[in-house]
Chain A
Amino acid sequence: MSIAFYLIAALTLAGGLAAVLLKNTVHCALALTVAFAGLALLFLELDAQFAGFAQILVYIGAVAILVVFAILLTRGSETPKDGVYSRNWLAGLFIAAAVFAVLGWAVLQSAGGLPQGAVAAPTVTVLQIGNALVSRYVLPLEIVALLLTAAMIGAVIVAMHEKERQK
């Protein structure tokens, strides 16, 4: 655990907390982006270049933009008067705690399977990831591609339907 890890972890946690606690919706989205960037930095700190850059490219370059677009195009960015906190926050807290417990349990369980003692970290290049994706993991890759295409066609159909009805 280096000092860089603690700094990045603090940044990520601060971003995540701000995303939940801030009042203005656009501020929340921007804080969420900070959390995304922190996660990308964590990946990079672990020498996972591909995962880190893909995280920046997809989450900061596309998902964050999608989120702010959705906020601006739907309700407007003005903060509602009656507050932004949900009334059934107790249920939300319970679900969040359950998810965290499952994740924590899974992480703690897998710790036993790790090789004991100091082991040299494996170096994985982007070339190896690419080769693995199109040889051993080609079926999952194709399924994901099919799913994404279906989702995109569905989105286009939903958007087109609105237009037809207006005419």
Chain B
Amino acid sequence: MTGTMDQIFVLLQHWLTGFLPAAWQGPARVVLSVAVIVGLFPALFALTTVFERKGLGRIQNRIGPNRTGWLGILQPVADGIKSLTKEDIVPLSADGAVHFLAPVVLVVAVFMGFAVLPMGRKMVLVEMDAGLLFFFAMGASTELSVFMAGWSSRNKYSLLGAMRAVAQMISYEVPLLMSSVAVVMITGSLSLTRIVEAQDQYTWGFPHWYIFTPWGFAGFVMYAIAATAETNRSPFDLPEGESELVAGYHTEYSGFKFALFFLGEYLAMFSISGLGTTLFLGGWSAPFSWLGWIPSWIWFFSKLMLSIFVFIWLRGTLPRLRQDQLMNFAWKFVLPMTLLNLMVAALWRFLGEGWERWVICSAILVLAYVAMGRAGMHREHFGPRRYRYAE
């Protein structure tokens, strides 16, 4: 019974395609899986917008949307109808073709990333040998669409927002990749399925998730920081800081194109959380061995939604960074730490089983963290603030 529930979607897929002639079954399965992904994640996005607005409202001592449907649950439907019926305004001097292509390229590139994420036991669209590489290649393609949107709008706010976004995404892509490479080094594979399987083991009922190792914990923290920056979420939301740049690179978009940008942003958040879950939080594996009877896909999506909740929590709690702080943090703190983390992961691999590696690896990481924090604070001069231009 547990096995049936675990594989329910795979079995459903096989049952549905079973009605077709044998030659069509293979393509039909792929089309069905793609349709499910293309339908499921926007639905999750709709739910998340309500969840986020309600959660932010709670954090800011408001109630949040509660007029449409029961407790505001129909709010995304209303928003969708609104954005579909709104006029699509393209600025007169905008570059028509590029302006139109930008949101399409963004959404397509973001959707591609889901193809390699294992969402449950044997539930992955494409079983790819170089899955992680594919994911990052698709993630890198979104940067250009952001640039296209900002440049084609012929608006200084759009262009500034796009330049900020691209600079930020390039800066934080390096730590994002580097923190993931540590996982690849330990697993010895770029296949995401293999990475999850390596973590799906238990000692005394506790899982072998990579977050429970010194290098894995450090890597996960770095990954989370870089992922927040990569998805332009607060506190790294300078590219669309509404108090500075109106809305950044999508200032000149309205109607459904704006909705596409919104969708792309949230889908990027889902896919990068899904990858973080896969790399460090054990993907679809259960947190305790005695909970193994709960279907694997429930675990994957619970972890995914938990990460989304943390994203929303951070957005409601932290103030926005300044541009120089953002860049200094990426290049002077996160990048050196991820490089050190690679060394520590290699050390972990070759020290062999035993308690020594726990002590040595933790000590190196903690010492480096404290030393770099001290050195960074030493250079800052805290005191009465001096205004360079306003005095």
Q: Contacts of A77 on B, CB cut-off 8 Å?
A: 151
Interface residues of A in 99-128 (CB under 8 A from B): 125-127
Q: Select B140's contact among A49, A60, A69, A127, beta carbons within 8 Å.
A: A60
Q: Tell me whether A20 is interfacial, beta carbon within 8 Å.
A: no
With contacts A61-B143, A62-B140, A77-B151 taken as known, whether A53 is within 8 angstroms of B166 at the C-beta atoms is no
Asked if A50 and B130 make an inter-chain contact with CB atoms under 8 angstroms apart, the answer reads yes
Bin chain B's interface residue count: 20 to 34
Closest chain B residue, CB of each to CB of A55: B137
List residues of A (40-61) whose CB comes within 8 Å of B's CBs.
49-50, 53-54, 56-57, 60-61
Q: Mark B129-141, 1 if CB is under 8 A from A, else 0.
A: 1100110111111
Q: How far is the CB of A49 from chain B (nearest CB, A)?
A: 5
List B residues 158-183 near A (Cβ within 8 Å).
159, 163, 166, 170, 173
B140 touches A30 (CB 8 A): no
**Of the candidates B129, B137, B141, B147, which one forms a contact with A125 in the assembled complex, judged by CB atoms under 8 Å apart?**
B129
Within 8 A of B (CB), among A46-96: 49-50, 53-54, 56-57, 60-62, 64-65, 68-69, 72, 77
> Within the assembled complex, what's the spacing in Å between the Cα atoms of A126 and B184?
12
Q: Which residues of B contact A127 (CB under 8 A)?
A: 129, 188-189
Task: Give bound CA distance, A54 to B136, whole Å.
Answer: 10
- Please, how many angstroms separate the alpha-carbon atoms of A72 and B65 in the complex? 42
- Contact across chains for A49 and B128 when beta carbons are under 8 A apart: yes
Question: What's the Cα separation between A62 and B171 when bound, in Å?
Answer: 11
Q: How far is the CA of A56 from the CA of B112 in the complex (A)?
A: 13
Quick check: A57 and B129 within 8 Å, CB to CB? no
B269: interface (CB < 8 Å): no
Check: B351 CB closer than 8 A to any chain A CB.
Answer: no
Is the CB of B148 closer than 8 A to any CB of chain A? yes
Q: Verify A54–B133 contact, CB threshold 8 A.
A: yes
Q: Are B151 and A60 in contact (CB under 8 A)?
A: no
Selected from B133, B148, B151, the residue in CB contact (under 8 A) with A53 is B133
Residues from chain B with Cβ under 8 Å of A39 in the complex: none
Chain B residues contacting A12 (CB-CB under 8 Å) are none
- Bound-state CA distance A155–B133 (Å) is 28
* Distance of A77 Cα from B173 Cα, bound (Å): 26
Question: Which A residues are in CB contact (< 8 Å) with B173?
Answer: 61
**Closest residue to A64 on the B side, CB-wise?**
B144
Q: Which residues of B contact A53 (CB under 8 A)?
A: 130, 133-134, 136-137
Encode B185-229 as 1/0 by CB contact (under 8 A) with A: 000111000000000000000000000000000000000000000
B138, chain A: closest CB distance, angstroms: 8
Cα–Cα, bound, A62→B166 (Å)? 10
**Minimum distance in angstroms from B89 CB to a CB of chain A:** 22
- Residue in B130, B134, B188 whose Cβ sees the most chain A Cβ within 10 Å: B130
Closest beta carbon of chain A to B166's beta carbon, Å: 6
Residue of B nearest to A58 (CB): B140
Flag if A61 contacts B141 (CB, 8 Å): yes
Q: Are A50 and B133 in contact (CB under 8 A)?
A: yes
- Chain B residues lying within 8 Å of A24, measured Cβ to Cβ, are 95
B94 at the interface (CB under 8 A from A): no
A153 to B362, CA, bound (A): 32
8 Å CB contact of B170 from A30, A33, A49, A62? A62
Chain B residues within an 8 Å CB radius of A50: 130, 133
Contact A57 B130 (CB under 8 A): no
Report the Cα distance A68→B98, complex, angstroms: 14
**A35 contacts which chain B residues (CB < 8 A)?**
none
CB distance from A41 to the nearest CB of B (A): 12
In whole angstroms, how far apart are the Cα atoms of A49 and B131 in the complex? 10
A126:B148 contact, CB within 8 angstroms: no
Task: Give A132 to B285 CA distance when docked, in angstroms.
Answer: 33
With A65-B143, A69-B166 as contacts: A57 and B151 at CB distance below 8 Å: no
Check A61/B140 contact, CB under 8 A, given A30-B148, A68-B147, A127-B189. yes
Complex formed: what's the CA distance from A53 to B159 in Å?
Answer: 29
Q: Is the CB of A57 within 8 A of B166?
A: no
What mask results when residues 1 to 43 of chain A are scored 1 for a CB within 8 Å of chain B, else 0? Answer: 0000000000000000000000010110010010000000000
Contact indicator per residue, chain A 125-151, by CB within 8 Å of chain B (1) or not (0) = 111000000000000000000000000
A130 CB, nearest partner CB in chain B, Å: 9
| A65: B residues at CB distance < 8 A | 143-144, 147, 166, 170
A49 touching B129, Cβ below 8 Å:
yes
CB distance from B232 to the nearest CB of A (A): 16
Q: Cα distance A64–B143 when bound, in Å?
A: 10
> Within the assembled complex, what's the spacing in Å between the Cα atoms of A136 and B128?
26
Report 7 cross-chain contacts, Cβ distance below 8 Å, ordered by A residue: A49-B128, A53-B137, A61-B139, A65-B166, A68-B147, A69-B166, A127-B129
**Which of B's residues lie within 8 Å of A, judged by CB?**
95, 98, 128-130, 133-134, 136-141, 143-144, 147-148, 151, 159, 163, 166, 170, 173, 188-190
A-B contact sample (7 more), CB < 8 A, given A53-B130, A53-B137, A127-B188: A50-B130, A53-B134, A56-B137, A56-B140, A60-B141, A61-B137, A126-B190
